[in-house]
Structure 1
Amino acid sequence: MAESENIVVETAEKIFSDLADAQTINHDKKGEWKAPLWQALTEAGLPLAWVPEDCGGSGASLAEGFAVLSAAGRHAIAVPLAETMLAGWLLAQAKISSPAGEMTVIPAAPKDRITVGADGTLSGRARSVPFAKAAKHFAVLAGNSIALVDASKCRIEAGIGLGGDNSDIVVLDKVEPTATKPAPKGFDQTQLMLMGGVVRSLQIAGALEAMLDISVRYSNERVAFEKKISKFQAVQHNLAKLAGESAAALAAATSAADAIANAKSFDDAVFLEAASAKIRCSEAAEKGGGIAHQVHGAIGFTIEHILHRFSLRALAWRDDFGSESYWAVELGKMVANRGADELWPLVASR
């Protein structure tokens, strides 16, 4: 990791540690922790990390931003940091300046489409849009155009995801965008979904790291039958499996992030890395979350326990920007289209 990446991640980690402690948040039923956290993130320039300075952002590299998102996953951050970073990245593709405040991207599902009318207005319906209710602006990919939209001009049907965060339906009915520019040549919705999928993969991997740490710590504190439960072979076996799932998710997610950060375009190699990461991390979220709760026993199932902040969000993140099954099908299609002779050289090159 470069020195600049260290500085950016250390800044993010300090903010998360100081203002997003899981236990403190669990006891704050009014959500008063959100405003100070968002203010600190904004002052550090993290929400617009992927936006060039000439477009109103911090101009951080993709690698630096990915490292921040991994840290955000380790703290189960429940503010639209990842969504605003992704929205800023999308707007930057068309050289549209990013406004201040929370943002999110539309669409957030592979099969949803937003269209541009002859008069330049936008229409369509986007499901499961993360933090749409909290966003002040939307970064919208509509066909071959990228647009900035004032959230107040859209109809939002509020919803709650598995992790307890907003996952809303956004309806655009001939909405006039604040700004619209053509997307770069070759840029399409698949690339947005791949980028979003890697973002979620990093967050899942981070959450699994936290779940492993919490579970190991608990097993060394909990005493049953006059000895720590970490001494029982069955518990050791489960913790080893959880460590394996966490390591696999982290390897897949960071490899995909590295591929995107160093690629000149979203080619087949990036597709392979990103799709595989979302599939493997989604699988790890299910298996790892279950193991973590097993280790904790009954106490882990109480809603007051911090483990839920990580396990439920990891499970919820599986479905954003294409589910595990969706990417498995798409990856299968790519392999079939390339043919058997080209599969091994592609895999071996990674």
Structure 2
Amino acid sequence: MTQNSTPEPVVVDELITETADRLFSELCTHEAVQAAEDSGDAPDIWGAFRETGFDLIAVPEDAGGSGGTLAEAIEVLRLVGYHSAPIPAAENGILGGWLLAEAGIERPDGLVTVVPPRAAEGGWSGGSACSAEVTGDGRVTLTGEAHRVPSARSAETIACVCECDGQTTVVAVPTSECEITPLPNMAGEPRDTVRFDGATGQAAPAPDGVDAAALAERGALSRVALMAGAIEKMCQLTVSYTNERVQFGRPVARFQAVQQHLVWAAQDAALVRMAAEVAAREATRGSAAFEIAAAKLIANQAAARATKACHQAHGAMGMTQEYPLHHFSRRLWSWRKEYGSDAHWSAVLGNMATGVGADGLYPLITSGTLALQ
């Protein structure tokens, strides 16, 4: 769909939001999230999520998906972050499902995860530290090692973008062909090391618009959505706690210093949610390079500020395992490092600004990616 200066609003079906919220409210209890951190998996939550069709909401129906919009998938991801649902929702649908559907590779019945591209000088490098060699008949052999692959231990297929004979290629490798070393991130989420020692899989040329940079942008957008939900819930927890906690005869929320923390957290929650919605809206219509870069930088910085404010308002209670605040703050500090750091996206935005020149700066700010075309 062509972008224009007065676009029609992107509408998200309220039934999707209500159903996802109710599902996570019932299943993502404190005990369930803790158990998933210990085991590295949450099969009951993932099974219920798949039954609703949310796992493939942004994948076209002719590719085995639910046929929803990217904006709807982003809203579901926001609720994943809001409930700290310990599932690889982004990898299976928005990233892995998108890659396989675009390349015309038949997706398996089980979970699909993705090798995150690496930030490289001047852009993104696909396939992590892997090399690919075409063997014929739509097959490829992968050699090398990929790091921080989400939920590789639970996946049936690992998808990645590689360069094969000078051509950008989408590769799908069964996990049975790989050596997987389970590793967690700061939040206890699976971020495994995968070794491809001559692993063979399906391969197809990537169509226009599908490459390591496009995968990185979608990955960054997915993390913005997750972070928007987590900051929102973390802010709500802080407001509730400070209104219930009494010191010197009155709720601590009545103290000016605490109120300042609450305001900062609320501002960041609103800011990141708005950035996620704008980026998702533009990505639904077409290219959204500027909006996604800005949204990821905003989310990264807001996560640091909001985590500090909420933990300071909670005091020692926020550091306990029994209290759920850490489920959100640890995820935020993990997600802000994925698919581009502050430095990376600052450089991207800076290059965009200098590229359009002084006369193009205001149109870039007001029109976003449209000004780059």
- TM-score tier, shorter chain, comes to over 0.9
Q: Deviations over 1:139-189 (max 9, x none)?
A: 211121112210121222322111111112222233211x22111124221
1:26 and 1:107 mapped to 2: Cα distance? Answer: 26
Q: Deviations over 1:113-164 (max 9, x none)?
A: 4333142312333222222222221121112111221012122232211111
Cα-Cα RMSD: 2.1
Please say if residues 38 and 188 of structure 2, whose CA atoms lie closer than 8 Å, have aligned partners that are also in contact.
no
How many Å apart are 1:60 and its aligned residue?
1.2
**Secondary structure class of the residue paired with 2:13:** helix
Range with greater deviation from structure 2 (272-281 or 55-64): 55-64
Aligned residue number for residue 130 of structure 1: 150
Give the 3 Å change call, closer, same or farther, for CA 27–151 of structure 1 in structure 2: closer
Report 1:65-80 matches (<5 A).
65-80=73-88
Determine if the alignment matches structure 1 residue 291 to structure 2 residue 299.
Answer: no
Give the 3 Å change call, closer, same or farther, for CA 346–213 of structure 1 in structure 2: same
1:173 and 1:13 mapped to 2: Cα distance? Answer: 41
Aligned to 2:247, which of 206, 211, 224? Answer: 224
Aligned residue number for residue 200 of structure 2: 176
Determine if the alignment matches structure 1 residue 102 to structure 2 residue 111.
Answer: yes
Q: Deviations over 1:314-339 (max 9, x none)?
A: 11001111222111122222322332
How many Å apart are 1:8 and its aligned residue?
1.8
Report 1:44-193 matches (<5 A).
44-85=52-93, 86-111=95-120, 112-114=125-127, 115-119=131-135, 120-143=140-163, 144-177=168-201, 179-193=202-216
Report 1:256-335 matches (<5 A).
256-263=279-286, 266=287, 270-335=288-353
2:235 and 2:104 mapped to 1: Cα distance? Answer: 41
**Once the two structures are aligned, what percentage of the paired residues are identical?**
36
Aligned residue number for residue 6 of structure 2: none
Larger strand proportion, structure 1 or 2? 2
Determine if the alignment matches structure 1 residue 40 to structure 2 residue 48.
Answer: yes
Please say if residues 71 and 206 of structure 1, whose CA atoms lie closer than 8 Å, have aligned partners that are also in contact.
yes
**Secondary structure class of the residue paired with 1:47:** helix
How many Å apart are 1:23 and its aligned residue?
5.2
Structure 1 residues not aligned, in runs of 5+: none
Aligned to 1:195, which of 188, 211, 218? Answer: 218
Aligned residue number for residue 5 of structure 2: none
1:253 and 1:142 mapped to 2: Cα distance? Answer: 28
**Aligned-partner residue type, residue 366 of structure 2:** A
Give the 3 Å change call, closer, same or farther, for CA 331–126 of structure 1 in structure 2: farther
How many Å apart are 1:2 and its aligned residue?
7.3
1:230 and 1:241 mapped to 2: Cα distance? Answer: 13
Range with greater deviation from structure 2 (329-338 or 274-283): 329-338
Please say if residues 51 and 98 of structure 1, whose CA atoms lie closer than 8 Å, have aligned partners that are also in contact.
no
Determine if the alignment matches structure 1 residue 25 to structure 2 residue 33.
Answer: yes
2:282 and 2:29 mapped to 1: Cα distance? Answer: 32
2:70 and 2:55 mapped to 1: Cα distance? Answer: 13
